[in-house]
Amino acid sequence: MIKLSRKEIDMHSIPMEERGDIVILRLDGPLDPAHANALQHYLAILLTAGWKKVIIDMNEVSAILSYGCGTLTHLIKEAKQNGMQMKFFGFQPEPKAVLERNNIDKILPCYATEEEAIASFSS
C-alpha cells in the first residue's frame, strides 16, 4: 500500500488517520458542494494510492445539502466499482434524516460508532 505524503493530506483539509489497512476521514461542517468536491477528490487520491478500506466519520457534519447527497451516492458506486469498501459512522439526527428522506441510507453502510465500522471489515 502506498503512503500518502503530508502535502497530499494537507492540501485537502480533511483530517485523516491510518489504522493498519484502514483510512479514517474526519469530515467537519456541512456537506455542501465545496466539502463534497474535496471529499470526492480525496477519495480519488486514496484509490490511486491503493487504499481499499475507508471509513468516513460524520460526527461533525452539521448538514447534508442535496449536492452532498448526490456526491455520497456517486462515491459509494465508484468505490464499489474500484474494489474499495467505504463505511460511514456518527451521523447526527438532521443529516441522517436527509439521507432517510432521500433513501440514501439504504445504500450507505452506516454504523453508530467508529469501533463498529472498523469491526464490520472483519465480518
- Asked if 117 and 57 count as a contact pair (C-beta separation under 8 A), the reply is no
Domain that holds residue 106: 6-120
User: Residues with Cβ < 8 Å from 52, sequence gap 6 or more?
Assistant: 21, 83, 84, 85
Residue 78: alpha-carbon gap to chain centroid: 12
Say which CATH number the domain at 29 has.
Answer: 3.30.750.24
Number of independent structural domains in the chain: 1
> Does any domain span residue 72?
yes
Cα–Cα distance, 113 to 53 (Å, whole number): 16
For the cut 90, the answer to whether the pLDDT of residue 73 exceeds it is yes
Give residue-wise pLDDT tens across range 16-28.
999 999 999 999 9
> Does any domain span residue 69?
yes
pLDDT at 26: 95
Residue 101: alpha-carbon gap to chain centroid: 20
> Does any domain span residue 48?
yes
pTM above 0.75, yes or no: yes
